[in-house]
Structure 1
């Protein structure tokens, strides 16, 4: 059933608008705001983790335990699908990059700065730095929106996928520094393994020799962030040239996207083999 859900997620992502309808964070964000106003949660941020992450996971566990014994487990399939879709990242990466790509292709650096600030929340001091930030944004968003989520779903099921997304939301939206710090540390632990699996995938579908030479010593480091690792390995594996305004710069974004697509195909092929032989 796991591989079927992973295939259905691709279909939903490509051919429907269900993702935007399912990814409704309003109730959870209101619960977060209410919890942050309570003195007990301010003094003990772990209570916030329990309320905002552990309790939803406990509810999902109870629901699945009730559904999985019925109809050979097929009644649980819609729940798996809904949870996995909810756990994917927010927004449409390609749509968000569209205005920047158009401005950069025209050579209009001023418009590119404006749309990068408006659509991607990115700023830089030079054209080259801006393009590098956009390249990094593409790699990181693809990882945290898709690869990390399907990795944990394939490995441990919907509970792990939902835990990853709730921790990500908590790290992004929590206003209490202590609560945000706990969420960021837990997410760093969640990111350690999938980020390195993706880095290895980039090496296999990209320039293996360059990745091995430049970044092998960082693969097992706990201190390097998942974002830094994924971005560095992606650029090296894709052999990104020096930043350049115009069509060549847009071509670097296309090359990175193709690298991500090849890595996704590799992952799905491995998931299929895993399903067949285990």
Structure 2
């Protein structure tokens, strides 16, 4: 059933607007705000994080447990689908990049700086650095929005996928420094394995030698961040040239996107084989 859910997720992403109707974080954000307003939680960031993440997971686990014996478990399929869609990243990545791509293609650096700050929350001191940051933003957002979620769903099911997204939301929206730091540490642990699997996938669908050189010294490192690792290996796999303004710069974004698409196809093929074998 998990592979069917992953196929339905692609269909929903491509042909429907369900995602924006399902991804409502309001109730969870209100819980986060309520916890942060209570002084007793300020000194207990790990306990607060456990409550923010484990409470929804327990509710989901109970629902799945109740549905498991009904209709051979097929009634759980809509729950799986809704949870995975909710667990995907927020926003439309390609739509957000659109104004920057248009400005960069025209060679209008000033407009590119403005739209990068407005739409992507990115700033840089020079044109080449700005394009590199946008390239990194594309790769990182694709990873944390899609690859990390489907990795944990395929491995451990909807509870793990939801756990990843709730920890990510905690790291992004928590205002208490201790709580945010706790969420960042947990997210780093959750990212350690899937980001390396994706990096290995880049090697198989892109420049194997380039990724091998970039990944060799960081493969088992705990200190390098997931964002750094996935961006470095994506650039190596895609053989991204030096940043330039104009059509060539936009082509580098297209090349990274095609690399990500090939990696996604490779993952789905792997999941299909895995489903047939187990």
* TM-score relative to the length of structure 2: 0.99
Q: Which residue in 1 is equivalent to 2:141? A: 141
Hey, what's the Cα distance between the residues in 2 that align with 1:186 and 1:69?
A: 33
Give the CA deviation at 1:214.
2.9
Alignment correspondent of 1:83: 83
Partner-residue secondary structure (3-state), 2:243: coil
1:100 aligns with 2:100: yes
Residue 205 of structure 2: aligned partner: 205
Aligned to 1:180: 180
Query: 2:167–2:186: 8 Å Cα contact kept in structure 1?
Result: yes
Deviation at 1:40, TM superposition (A): 1.6
Matched, 1:156 2:156: yes
* Deviation of 1:49 (Å): 1.3
Return the alpha-carbon distance in structure 1 between the equivalents of residues 240 and 175 of structure 2. Answer: 37
How far residue 211 of structure 1 moved from its aligned partner, in angstroms, is 1.2
Once the two structures are TM-superposed, the CA of residue 47 in structure 1 deviates from its matched residue by 2.3
- SS of corresponding position for 1:3: helix
1:44 alignment counterpart: 44
Residues 107-131 of structure 1: CA deviation (Å, up to 9, x unaligned):
0000000000000000000000000
Structure 2 Cα separation of the partners of residues 135 and 152 of structure 1:
25
1:216 Cα deviation after fit: 1.2
Determine the structure 2 residue equivalent to 1:242.
242
**Post-superposition offset of 1:213:** 2.1
Q: CA deviation at 1:277?
A: 1.1
SS at match of 1:218: coil
* Larger CA deviation: 207-216 vs 79-88: 207-216
Partner Cα distance (2:181, 2:256) in 1: 31
Quote the residue 2:25 is aligned against.
25
Structure 2 gap segments, 5+ residues each: none
Distance 1:73 1:257 in 2: 36
Structure 1: gaps (5+ residues): none
The list of structure 1 runs, each at least 4 consecutive aligned residues, that deviate by more than 4 angstroms after superposition, is: none
Give the total of aligned pairs: 278
Question: Counterpart of 1:69?
Answer: 69
Deviation of 1:225 after TM superposition, in Å, equals 0.3
In 2: Cα distance, 1:203 partner to 1:212 partner: 7
In 2, distance between residues paired with 1:47 and 1:270?
A: 37
Deviation at residue 50 of structure 1 after TM alignment: 2.3
The residue number in structure 2 matching 1:269 is 269
Contact 2:214 2:232 (8 Å CA) reproduced: no
Partner of 1:129: 129
2:10 aligned partner? 10
* Structure 1 partner of 2:170: 170
Tell me by how many angstroms 1:217 deviates: 1.3
SS across alignment from 2:216: helix
Residues 196 and 219 in structure 2, CA contact (< 8 A), matched pair in contact too: yes
Distance 1:81 1:259 in 2: 26
Other-structure match for 1:215 = 215
| In 2: Cα distance, 1:215 partner to 1:271 partner | 24
How far residue 140 of structure 1 moved from its aligned partner, in angstroms, is 0.1
Deviations 1:22-47 (A, max 9, x none): 00001111110111011121121122
Measured against aligned partners, the alpha-carbon deviations of 1:248-267 in whole angstroms (never above 9, x if no partner) come to 00000000000000000000
CA drift of 1:199 comes to 0.2
Normalised to the residue count of structure 1, the TM-score between the two structures is 0.99
